[in-house]
Amino acid sequence: MKRNLLLTPGPSKVPVELCAVLGQPIIHHRTPQFQQVLKEVTAGLQKVINTTSDVYLLASSGTGAMEAAVANLASPGEKVITVEYGKFGERWAALAKAYKLNAVTVKIPWGRTITPDEVKTVLLEHPDAKAIFLTQCETSTSATPDMAAIGEVVRKTSAALVVDAVSALGTEPMMMDAWGVDVVCSGSHKGFMLPPGVGIVAVSPKAIALMEASSNIRFYFDLRKSRKAFADTDTPFTPAISIVIALNEAVKMLLAEGLEKKQEYYLLMAKAVWAATEALGLKVFAQPEFRSRGLTAIMIPEALNPKKLVKTMRDVHGITMAGGQGDLDGKTIRIAHMGAVDEYDIMTGLSCLEKVLYQAGHKFELGAGLAAAQKVFNK
Amino acid sequence: MKRNLLLTPGPSKVPVELCAVLGQPIIHHRTPQFQQVLKEVTAGLQKVINTTSDVYLLASSGTGAMEAAVANLASPGEKVITVEYGKFGERWAALAKAYKLNAVTVKIPWGRTITPDEVKTVLLEHPDAKAIFLTQCETSTSATPDMAAIGEVVRKTSAALVVDAVSALGTEPMMMDAWGVDVVCSGSHKGFMLPPGVGIVAVSPKAIALMEASSNIRFYFDLRKSRKAFADTDTPFTPAISIVIALNEAVKMLLAEGLEKKQEYYLLMAKAVWAATEALGLKVFAQPEFRSRGLTAIMIPEALNPKKLVKTMRDVHGITMAGGQGDLDGKTIRIAHMGAVDEYDIMTGLSCLEKVLYQAGHKFELGAGLAAAQKVFNK
């Protein structure tokens, strides 16, 4: 009967309404019923992404959506720019390397992200770059760049702007058309409150031209096949039917609540967590001007053994947060405020975090974190 | 309140027990709980496949598992043999082409499959082939080869034997080690009674040696990454958590019922459908010695408009069978007897098939198909 609260940045908590949808009897994918779902879910995702461009679904995790972007946008030997400010930025470079692209990698200190000026500089240095790949919400550091300003810079060049929005979509704003983003990659299991299994890829006309020209090896992730099939309200291969059906419901729920309102609420939860962090005498890892709405990485003194704290919260109290990733392994605790998480989940998580910090000997006044968060929520 | 019976060869009917598992609250994948699931499900699948070799799970459809086999077993320009006796055999050739392998394609008339002698001949002609790719249950024609005898032939050569068992696994026997099969590809949504979203790949030591040597481009489907991660009871990328958890339960259900007993039962259902087909004055498409246990493709005179019959059964009566695929489009109706389908589902399906055949003007004695099936079930 232990609580099972997921405050992890993917998978995120699945609301009970969507659990019920996931448990429904299956339908076949080559039917008018499923075609209706496909039509609705792609139209709904266009609203979330603020685009009139094509949106394709893949039966894959978020990495599959990222691979689709890399595999379709350039050809072996062609120059691309990948930007790293955390573990998921490194994945862009690893993918570009696997596909034998000529990748120029920009390394930015973790805790901040690339600035529009830095984007400008690297694109001036490499005017022959086919695309620049970056991360909207870097889940390992909880940092996010100024996508609107970066879009403004990239759209003046010939490069395509490819954004890993796996943990950002739904939570951070995404104005694909207005900002000039060419590819948005995402997944079902973060902002969309569902189990992993569906990859989402939106492609602008500029990206479509690149993908029709690319000579890269691809089959399962060949977006030309997706383009053809989705034009007929179909998928090139068997889709992850049950998750696609639930994704349609999730998107409807988000749109019914109002995306902007929801995104303001994620920001409010983020601010509550930042305030609690400070009140507990701890530090948020991401620099103030780069903090995401979707999750917060909190620096934990190594003496307190953050890995053990995460384990105790999960195994003793049934509250799952994430530890550090990559260079931050054993140094941070990450708490998600995305998808279906609400302020009471945050208060629950903070109660538990205070408990284990206190038991580990961290010095603070019990309730200080909660009070700080409560003030943010009730201003 | 209409009946929703899936008699399609993937997705197949999901039993209510597994619907309930799929609707459970999600857990995180980097936890001891999920590690326990991974351990159990891979051990369970080893029993189903009758192997001590590694079994990896991918977040993909069955085609993803097939791509993993192609991407990992050869290098560009290297010779492989693909065998076609239906639409899914053609997919092996398309994959080999996409990966720029030197593919020798053996085309066998649809309705039968390749014989062990034909396998011997093509391997003698091409002793430099790295692998031979074939289909255990060709879902488009419902034909299946003699895998044991083919394994006996291939194991005497240096080629790896790669089997698309997407619609076969669980339904047809698979003695991977005893038969000398090197790669088994499958998915969650056929014999395992679940929604699509999990690809299954088992690899022999011979296949592992090839995959470590291959210079093919691959990342998401890089089985070297799977090998490393699964050795640590982990997955290289986010797994399709909810379907993996349900797959563990599905495998337990199959093993608890007894695989052999279950496979005899699929054969009994198949025989009932064959008998009903004949009693209705129709023909089974697959030749008698090549008929699969998992589904039956029934030839329907084009004058009866099989596509319309399928549509009426589905939209009016809530009973979904599949139409013809590829060259058999508009020529067959396919009825699945795999996964959770039981004899009462078959009787339901046959009742409905008789109804629409009768309404379409086909001449037969009402009940003749049902009686023939009933006799098979009650011998």
Q: ipTM value of the model?
A: 0.96
Q: Sort A32 into a burial class: Cβ within 10 Å, 0-12 / 13-18 / 19+.
A: exposed
Average pLDDT on A260-267 reads 98
Residue B376 has pLDDT above 80, yes or no: yes
What band does B1 get if pLDDT is binned at 50, 70 and 90? confident
Task: Say how far apart CA B355 and CA A231 lie, in whole Å.
Answer: 35
**Pick from B11, B59, B98: which is nearest to A196 by CB?**
B59
State residue A328's pLDDT score.
96
% of chain B exceeding 70 in pLDDT: 100
Residue among A194, A183, A185 nearest A159 (CA): A183
Condensed to tens digits (0 to 9), the pLDDT of residues A42-52 reads 999 999 999 99
- Distance between B73 CA and the closest CA of chain A, angstroms: 15
Considering the domain architecture, whether residues A204 and A226 belong to the same structural domain is answered as yes
Residue B217 banded pLDDT, cuts 50, 70, 90: very high
Residues of B in contact with A14 (CB under 8 A): 25-26
Closest CA to B123 of B73, B84, B81, B184: B81
pTM of the model: 0.97
Cα(A318)–Cα(B253) distance, integer angstroms: 28
Judgement on whether residues B168 and B22 belong to the same structural domain of the protein: yes
Q: Is the pLDDT of residue B2 over 90?
A: no
Residue A2 pLDDT > 90: no
* Nearest-angstrom CA–CA distance, A270 and B228: 36
pLDDT at A24 over 90: yes
Q: Which of A256, A288, A315 lies at the terminal end of a domain, its last residue? A: A256
Q: Among the three residues A227, A256, A285, which one is the final residue of a domain in this structure? A: A256
Looking at the fold, whether A127 and A40 belong to one and the same domain comes out as yes
Residue B277 pLDDT exceeds 90: yes
CATH of the domain at A158: 3.40.640.10
pLDDT at B65 over 90: yes
pLDDT at residue A229 is higher than 80: yes
- Check CB contact under 8 Å for A221 and B219: no
pLDDT tops 80 at residue A302: yes
Q: Are residues B163 and B149 in the same domain?
A: yes
Cα gap A198→B333, rounded to integer Å: 30
Average pLDDT of span B172-184: 98
Is the pLDDT at A1 greater than 80, yes or no? no
Contact A337, A273 (CB under 8 A): yes
Please give the pLDDT value at position A145: 98
Q: What is the CA radius of gyration of chain A?
A: 21
The pLDDT assigned to B322 comes to 98
Question: What confidence score (pLDDT) does residue B303 get?
Answer: 97
Residue A6: strand, helix, or coil: strand
Give whole-number Cα distances, A68 to A71, A224, A347, B40, B365, in Å. Answer: 5, 10, 38, 31, 54
Please answer yes or no on whether B195 and A13 come within 8 Å at the CB atom: no
- Rounded CA-CA distance A247/A375 in Å is 34
Determine the pLDDT at residue B209: 97
Q: Mean pLDDT across chain A, nearest whole number?
A: 97
Domain finish residue from B238, B256, B274: B256
The mean per-residue pLDDT over the stretch B311-320 comes to 97
Range of the domain at B232: 16-256
Other C-beta atoms closer than 10 Å to the C-beta of A293 total 25
Same domain membership, residue B236 and residue B157? yes
The token pair at A370 is: 């909660």
Nearest CB among B31, B218, B237 relative to A63 is that of B237
Distance in angstroms between the alpha carbons of the first and the last residue of chain B: 35
pLDDT band for position A311 (50/70/90)?
A: very high
**SS3 state of residue A296:** strand
pLDDT in tens, A104-127: 999 999 999 999 999 999 999 999
Task: List the single residue in B with minimal CA-CA distance to A94.
Answer: B219
Q: Judge if A63 and A210 occupy the same domain.
A: yes
pLDDT surpassing 90 at residue A263: yes
Selection from A258, A285, A282 nearest residue A353 by Cα: A282
Q: How many domains does chain B have?
A: 2
Residues 6 or more apart whose Cβ sits within 8 Å of residue B99: A217, A219, B70, B71, B74, B76, B216
pLDDT at B8: 97
pLDDT digits (tens, 9 = 90+) for B137-154: 999 999 999 999 999 999
Q: Identify the CATH number of the domain in which residue B325 sits.
A: 3.90.1150.10
Residue of chain A whose alpha carbon sits nearest to that of B92:
A219
The span from the CA of A307 to the CA of A48, in Å, is 35
B114 and B239 inside one domain? yes
Distances (CA, A) of A9 to A336, A346, B171, B250: 5, 13, 38, 28
Q: Does one domain contain both A235 and A336?
A: no
Same domain, A45 and A109: yes
Residue of A nearest to B238 (CA): A61
Q: Indicate the helix (H) or strand (E) that contains B131.
A: strand B131-135
Query: Are B288 and B278 in contact, with CB atoms under 8 Å apart?
Result: no
Question: A309 and A240 in one domain?
Answer: no
Mean of the per-residue pLDDT values of chain B: 97
A290 CB-contact burial (10 Å; exposed 0-12 / middle 13-18 / buried 19+): buried
* Residues A151 and A299 both lie in one domain: no
d(CA B290, CA B306): 23
Does the distance separating the beta carbons of B315 and A99 come in below 8 Å? no
State whether B32 and B101 are in the same domain. yes
Residue A275: what pLDDT? Answer: 98
Q: Is the pLDDT of residue B34 over 80?
A: yes
Report residue A328 as tokens. Answer: 């931050």
For A298-321, what is the mean pLDDT? Answer: 97
